[in-house]
Amino acid sequence: MAANRNLKQVRIENSSPAAPLGMVGGGGGGSGNLKGLRGLETESEAAAAMALVPSKEGGDEEQEVGFTIDIKSFLKPGEKSYTQRCRLFVGNLPTDITEEDFKRLFERYGEPSEVFINRDRGFGFIRLESRTLAEIAKAELDGTILKSRPLRIRFATHGAALTVKNLSPVVSNELLEQAFSQFGPVERAVVVVDDRGRATGKGFVEFAAKPPARKALERCSDGAFLLTTTPRPVVVEPMEQFDDEDGLPEKLMQKTQQYHKEREQPPRFAQPGTFEFEYASRWKALDEMEKQQREQVDRNIREAKEKLEAEMEAARHEHQLMLMRQDLMRRQEELRRLEELRNQELQKRKQIQMRHEEEHRRREEEMMRQREQEELRRQQEGGFKPNFMDNHLLVWPDFVTLEATCQKSVADL
């Protein structure tokens, strides 16, 4: 409550373009006012900031001093505006509140992009530009009395957030956002790390709307969504919503019969030898057994993962060898096919050459027969004496006939 009191002593105004947002501290110079300036970690820094603003001179009356901060300074580098993280739930509203009154309640925290009111049930939602502005509005207005009703302000549940598990150590926020952007606009993607900045294998993705979140959940559940070279699919689940800031204050507890019965005894340590100590020890033993079983399950899962990774690495090498063998066989088959094509081409050329030679020989024989017939015809007609070339052509067949006769005689002997 002290933090809220400090914040309520600071006025945040959404002023004209010349002064977009004013944060003005009350007079008097108390330390509580200085601590109420968000973004300034120490009182000395706040005092130095307020000292830069000229104050009115003279008079003992309370004076107002302050400084102007651009509303854009509330956006972190790379932070998107008007996201689901900037959405506030406002409960216990008066039933007769109008939308104008509701917006006027938050007007000094910037221009909202979403305003919804359910008058019958007395609650509403509003979305501001940045998470920081929403935190300031929540801290200042939570518990504020409006028409005799204390307002209840909480951050609205993010219905389009998913938890992503089984992440590789090389996955970053940017890669996670890039991978899930194929399902729809992503407002924020974060890889969870430990206190040393090492990846824990878990993360979360916040979409701008519910349909792309449902699409991502269904696609990743039905298929195997891989983010890196290693075939290690991510596990996507709806994100569990927790309130680790406000918790459950006493004023919101329901005063039931069980509440009063459990509150009869104050906090204490059970005394040895008593009924409380006996059953408290049994509860502790049960918790210890649960812890040991969870540790054993974690060890088994870790060993199974290590074994799976080793098998996956061996299978990858075997797969690469198989691909190399297949490539070698393909190349050998290609060489064999090329050799067959070469042999077929050589055989075809040889056949063509033989046909050409046969054709040439046939033409020569045909020419010789034509000459012989022409010579015989001339001899039969008479009155023509063959020249030396003709005699040579006539002698050649006689010589062939004579040689054949000699071979026949030798055969007969």
DSSP state letters, 259-320: HHHHTTS-S-PPPTTSHHHHHHHHHHHHHHHHHHHHHHHHHHHHHHHHHHHHHHHHHHHHHH
d(CA 118, CA 92): 11
pLDDT in tens, 57-75: 444 444 444 555 566 567 7
Residue 312 has pLDDT above 50, yes or no: yes
Beta bridge partners of 191: 203
What's the mean pLDDT in 208-234? 92
Question: Quick one: tokens of 136?
Answer: 């300031």
Query: Measuring CA to CA, which residue among 232, 195, 187 is closest to residue 213?
Result: 187
| Torsion over CA: 107, 110, 112, 116 (sign) | negative
Burial class of residue 203, CB neighbours in 10 A (0-12, 13-18, 19+): buried
Torsional class of 72: left (φ above 0), alpha (ψ -120 to 50), beta (otherwise) = alpha
Which range among 13-27, 117-131, 384-398 shows the weakest confidence by mean pLDDT? Answer: 13-27
What's the mean pLDDT in 353-371? 91
Average pLDDT of the chain is: 79
pLDDT band at 293 (very low <50, low <70, confident <90, very high): very high
Query: Amino acid identity of 12?
Result: I
What's the mean pLDDT in 179-187? 94
d(CA 98, CA 296): 58
d(CA 106, CA 116): 13
Residue 74's pLDDT is 75
User: Do 386 and 375 touch, CB atoms closer than 8 A?
Assistant: yes
Cβ neighbour number for residue 106 with a 10 Å cutoff: 23
Residue 81's pLDDT is 87
pTM score, whole prediction: 0.57
Beta bridge partners of 89: 125, 154
Q: CA dist 297 to 202, 221, 287, 303, 340, Å? A: 18, 23, 15, 10, 62
What's the mean pLDDT in 360-366? 91
Identify which has the larger pLDDT, 74 or 306.
306
Residue 249's pLDDT is 83
Question: Quick one: tokens of 104?
Answer: 């006027």
